[in-house]
Amino acid sequence: MNFENIMEEVYQKIKTINDPGSPASYIPELAIVDESKFGVHISTNNKENIGLGDCNEKFSIQSIAKVLSLCLAYRLQGDQLWERVGVEPSGTSFNSLVQLEADKGIPRNPFLNAGAIVISDILLSNLENPKAEFLHFVQGISNNKSLDYSSRIAESEKAVGYRNIALCNFIKSFGNVANEPCDILDFYFDLCSLEMSCKELSNLFLFLANNGRSMSTNKSILSESQSKRINALMQTCGFYDESGEFAFKVGLPGKSGVGGGIIAIHPDQYAIAVWSPKLNKKGNSFKGMKFLEEFTTKSELSIF
């Protein structure tokens, strides 16, 4: 497969389309990002690396980090994890409180803000130094010690995170988190502030295209079964109430973030990262979604 020619063709097409989206203005630091940025990078199991545009510029990966925190919690707790967070698509927005009442404080899936808050609580309870140990875990997957949190972005989110404060306290009222909400949220905002480039992101996530084994170190991050389940959750829940649309048009497991990033996985083939800060009405990168739809159509490679 000549990925380079297909990526170049699709990149040039999507670069010039009208983008009606807008950056995530409710987080002050994300509102000031240059909205013209557009980068793409693919990392393949055959050790190909192809990047275009702003693929080497770091950005806030936001909710894409929820996949990584879930992976670490899954390593620590195994299937016991699913007693506290579900695996079903929500059909609601990423910061919705609606289903928590009916589900008695158990989030519908780990990629909703509520689900990621429960995962953060699990990590707080199981790690001596959660912030440092989570970062070490992320750095270790790709053998890249330059990956780091952004205190600037974390503080920006903490200053306006009223909805997440409400979610955490609501879950606490049902007894589904053990730690103090202020400590859980402090860690949650830090993990969402992780910064990576498209190149770093696709290289890191290649382990999910390799049955849970790091391509950089050849170490097992997850078991093959666990890797399969993480990909399944990304397929069904990775784009909130637009997950069905992404599956229908793109046909790959993936995860978005309100920083404008998207990571998508083709098991046994590649990981591809796209970044464009302007979001559609569902909170997903407008150009990122369009690029991946065109890319899988032209390459004729999806999981379906």
1 pLDDT exceeds 80? no
Q: Determine the pLDDT at residue 133.
A: 98
**154 assigned to some structural domain:** yes
How far is it, in rounded angstroms, from Cα 261 to Cα 45? Answer: 21
- Place 176 in a pLDDT band, splitting at 50, 70 and 90: very high
Q: Determine the pLDDT at residue 132.
A: 98
Burial (CB < 10 A; 0-12, 13-18, 19+), residue 40, is buried
**255 assigned to some structural domain:** yes
Mean pLDDT of the region 234-239: 96
90 pLDDT exceeds 90? no
**157 assigned to some structural domain:** yes
Q: Determine the pLDDT at residue 95.
A: 81
Q: Determine the pLDDT at residue 58.
A: 98
101 pLDDT exceeds 80? yes
Q: Determine the pLDDT at residue 91.
A: 80
- Place 72 in a pLDDT band, splitting at 50, 70 and 90: very high
Domain count, the chain: 1
Q: Determine the pLDDT at residue 98.
A: 86
Looking at every residue in the chain, the average pLDDT score rounds to 96
Q: Determine the pLDDT at residue 122.
A: 98
Residue of higher predicted confidence among 123 and 102 = 123
Mean pLDDT of the region 19-36: 94
How far is it, in rounded angstroms, from Cα 203 to Cα 183? Answer: 31
Q: Determine the pLDDT at residue 93.
A: 78
pLDDT per residue over 256-288, tens digit each? 999 999 999 999 999 999 999 999 999 999 999
Q: Determine the pLDDT at residue 147.
A: 97
pLDDT > 70: what percent of the chain?
A: 100
The DSSP result for 34-49, as a single string, is -TT--EEEEEETT--E
**36 assigned to some structural domain:** yes
- Burial 249-262, CB ≥16 within 10 A → b, else e: bbbbbbbbbbbbbb
CA atoms within 13 A on the CB side of 67: 35
pTM of the model: 0.97
SS3 at position 275: strand
Q: Determine the pLDDT at residue 97.
A: 87
**198 assigned to some structural domain:** yes
pLDDT > 90: what percent of the chain?
A: 92
**304 assigned to some structural domain:** no
Residue of higher predicted confidence among 229 and 98 = 229
> Which range of residues forms the domain containing residue 267?
3-299
**182 assigned to some structural domain:** yes
In sequence order, which residues have a C-beta less than 8 Å from that of residue 109 and are 6 or more positions away?
85, 86, 87, 88, 89, 90, 115, 233, 236, 237
Query: Which CATH number goes with the domain that contains 19?
Result: 3.40.710.10
- Place 208 in a pLDDT band, splitting at 50, 70 and 90: very high
Q: Kindly give the interhelix angle for 65-77 and 130-142, rounded to the nearest 10 degrees.
A: 100
Q: Determine the pLDDT at residue 194.
A: 98
**257 assigned to some structural domain:** yes
Q: Determine the pLDDT at residue 105.
A: 96
240 pLDDT exceeds 90? no
Per the CB < 8 A criterion, the answer to whether 87 and 111 are in contact is: no
